[in-house]
Each structure stands twice: as structure tokens, then as C-alpha cells.
Amino acid sequence: MIAVKIKDKNLTVQSSSAVIELRAQALCLLAECSAAAKTEGVTRLYQAWQAGTVGLLASLELVSTQPLPGRPAKPDLVSPLQVEKRSMRTVEGRAALIHALAHIEFNAINLALDAVWRFSNMPQEYYADWLKVAAEEAYHFGLLNARLQSMGYEYGDFSGHNSLWEMAERTQDNVLARMALVPRTMEARGLDASPPLRNKFAQIGDMEAAGILEIILRDEIGHVAIGNTWFNWLCQQQGLAPIATYDSLAQQYRAPALRKPLNMEARRQAGFSEAELALM
């Protein structure tokens, strides 16, 4: 059982429950430590939301009573510089690379769930969007973990780093900063990295891994577009200029610099304006 505090009352719910208020359930799933239970729970919650059996109280002020995010005992979290080398010339090296991708997707599930529960008083479409993202990230994680298993490995067999979640922690009190710096900055890196990585797997004949990366790129364009949609909506609501606001937030929250070359076409599809692309 996982406890969720709603204002001054304690609501205790089971993390596998399919019918409950959306944001409270998202918080329960975020606190879930089992990767299998988290991914299965996210999928069920999204299906229940689509079926209309989950309610939404956007004004609820929720407080976690569990450490966040819930994660399994493995992988060990280390500095990005200490993550295992990922040579494409060995099975172990390719497995380490696929593991790194699976770890990114697992973190992305947590990021999407956090966007659902943490920020109150947003439009219903906002919560629906980020629940959809969480479900698609869970699907990606499942594909990558199955590929790992086919190579004789499991999620947790290699180390991972925590830079994605660190940015979530920095922006936990500011939904505008979260939309600016997690989907539009950290996750948008995948738009640039996926095509060359997909080509490397194809060149060595691993068409299964290459196909998974094609699915991820397709869906991640949509995820970054969701980030752009809500960043621009928030800027409009607050009377802010998007480009100047992004620059200010990137400096305030110490966002990492862009790594070139950039996939301009994918970024364009994801909703970056031509004016913004010209400055990248």
C-alpha cells in the first residue's frame, strides 16, 4: 500500500488500483519501485483513463509520503562519466548501450508521472497529454528491456546516471520551468541522437534494435511537441515572450548546452518555431 496525502487527510490506495483519481494514482505509480509494476500500472491507468473510469481533480494539492521517484535497487546510479563504455563491437557493449536507452525511458516514465501529479490547476488536456506520454515511455521501456533479455541481460545489469531526474528536481516548484527544460531541452536531445544511433545498429545487422529506435523517435517527436504546446500556453497565460523566457529559465536552472549536430527536421515537427531554430 502507498499513502498519498491530500490536503489534511490521508488517502491510502493500492498502487495496482485501476479506478481512482488520476493525479493521486500517478503519484502512487511514481513511488512504485518495481519496474514491472510501474510499467504495467501506467498502461492500466492510461487504458482506464481512455475508458472514462478514472476521475480528475485538478485542484487537489497532493503531498508524497514516499521517497520519489520509486526505482529498483539496480541499476546503480553513478556520474555520467562513470557509466560503462558502449562499444558496438561486442555483445556486452551493445547491451550496455541498449541498457542506457532503457534507463532513459524508465526515467521518462517517472518524469511524465511527475508532471501529472505535481502541478495542480492545469487544464484537463495537460494531464491527458502527460499520461499518454507516460504510457508510451512504458511501452518503449518494455521494448528495450525485451531486447536486453534476448541478449542475456536485464535492466539493472549495468549502471545508469540520474541527470534527467536532477532537472526534474530543480524545476519541481515551477511548471513553466519544467515544460521549458525537461521535454524541450533534456528529452529533445533524443531527437538528435536517435537517427545516427539507429543507423549504427542497422549497420551491424541489429534490425530489431534499429526498429525500436524508429518507434522511439516517432513517439518522442510527439512528446517534445507536448512540451512545446504547454510551454507556449503557459507563456501566453502569463504574458511572456517564449524565446526570452526560455533563455532566462535555461540560465536560472543551469540547463545543459545543446549538443550539435541537431536534427532540425525532427525539432521542427516537434513544434520549435523557425525563430527559435535559427538561434540554436
Give residue 245's identity as a one-letter amino acid code. Answer: T
CB 51 within 8 A of CB 63: no
φ/ψ of 57, rounded to 5, equals -120, 90
Q: Which residues contact 216 (CB under 8 A, 6 or more apart)?
A: 101, 105, 140, 190, 194
pLDDT of residue 139: 98
| Percent helix, strand and coil across the chain, each to the nearest 5 | 60, 5, 30
Maximal C-alpha separation, the chain:
58
Cell 521494448 found at:
143
Q: What is the pLDDT of residue 2?
A: 43
Starting at the edge strand that comes first in sequence, how are the strands of the sheet with 9-13 ordered?
Answer: 9-13, 2-6, 62-64
Quote the pLDDT of residue 66.
Answer: 86
pTM here? 0.91
Coil, helix or strand at residue 90 = coil
Residues of the chain with pLDDT under 50: 1-3, 6-19
